[in-house]
Amino acid sequence: MSVAPMMDWTDRHCRFFHRLLSRRTRLYTEMVTTGALLHGDVPRHLDFDASEHPVALQLGGSEPADLARCAKLGVEWGYDEINLNCGCPSERVQRGAFGACLMAEPALVADCVKAMVDAVDVPVTVKHRIGIDKVESYAFVRDFVGTVAQAGCGVFMVHARNAWLKGLSPKENREVPPLRYEMVHRLKREFPDLVIGINGGITDDPTVHGQLEELDGVMIGREAYHHPWWLARWDELFYGEPASGLGREQVEEAMVAYMEREHAQRGTPGIPSPAT
């Protein structure tokens, strides 16, 4: 089980909260672009609480050398996995020549993956769609996965919708293109040695159980954000381990204590920090 990387949502505060609910669920950062790391405030983008492990850093970029440098930064900061975004359809991301449009260039993605695999000793993974625009053939996503796997990627998290690069907003791209779970199941049958996980439209226990009969993992997106208490049952339901044992009031108290610590250490924008 994992919680999907979601821009403006899965920041370190959200991940700390989610970790209170589930010890085992893998958490992902928001997408961080290579430009933001190479030319911006690295601690602001990469800092996280040790309790968040296992936690993955999702990168956005398309230059192998830049991605390798940023992957090394991620490992230096302690991330357990480096994930390449090949699924975001926003026009801003397209202008940067990365995200979902990279699916049209599997050889370039393979070069990016190989550069990162050569640079770090943690898993390098890819999150992608099943197709772009009106390309709906299974051969398209099969060839993409096959090419990228040869470069050293063994884990693919697949959003089971196409990304329409023109005519739909990012929000519409999460809702309008139809879900086709069978395409992801077919990938697993064709590539049994790869770890294949699924993302998209999954909101309840029976659906998760059904997907885990076919696949290696399930990634939950906005449902984990809008209904976070669902995570409190995942360790028991999907890992066969005791739940965290924290009730809602205990989670709330832990978050209040966390916010007080954060405010004391870093302050809140526009609000002076307490004197030390």
Predicted local confidence at residue 274, as pLDDT: 46
30 three-class SS:
strand
List pLDDT tens digits, range 33-76: 999 999 999 999 999 999 999 999 999 999 999 999 999 999 99
Predicted local confidence at residue 222, as pLDDT: 95
Same domain, 119 and 79: yes
Same domain, 65 and 109: yes
Same domain, 271 and 184: no
pLDDT at 271 over 70: no
Full domain range(s) for residue 265: 246-276
Same domain, 140 and 264: no
Q: What are the residue ranges of helices labelled H in the chain?
A: 12-21, 34-39, 42-46, 64-76, 91-95, 106-119, 138-150, 170-173, 181-190, 205-214, 222-226, 234-239, 248-266
Same domain, 142 and 232: yes
Q: Which amino acid is at 87?
A: G
Same domain, 52 and 162: yes
Predicted local confidence at residue 89, as pLDDT: 82
Same domain, 269 and 193: no
Same domain, 199 and 269: no
Same domain, 172 and 254: no
- Model-wide pTM > 0.75: yes
Predicted local confidence at residue 275, as pLDDT: 45
Contact 162, 129 (CB under 8 A): yes
Q: Containing H/E element for 129? A: strand 124-132
List pLDDT tens digits, range 234-249: 999 999 999 988 999 9
Same domain, 255 and 221: no
The 8 Å CB, 24+ separation contacts for 241-249 are 241/23, 241/24, 244/20, 244/21, 244/22, 244/23, 246/20, 246/21
Instruction: Find the length of the chain.
Output: 276
Residues with a catalytic annotation lie at 88
Same domain, 255 and 134: no
Domain count, the chain: 2
Same domain, 196 and 225: yes
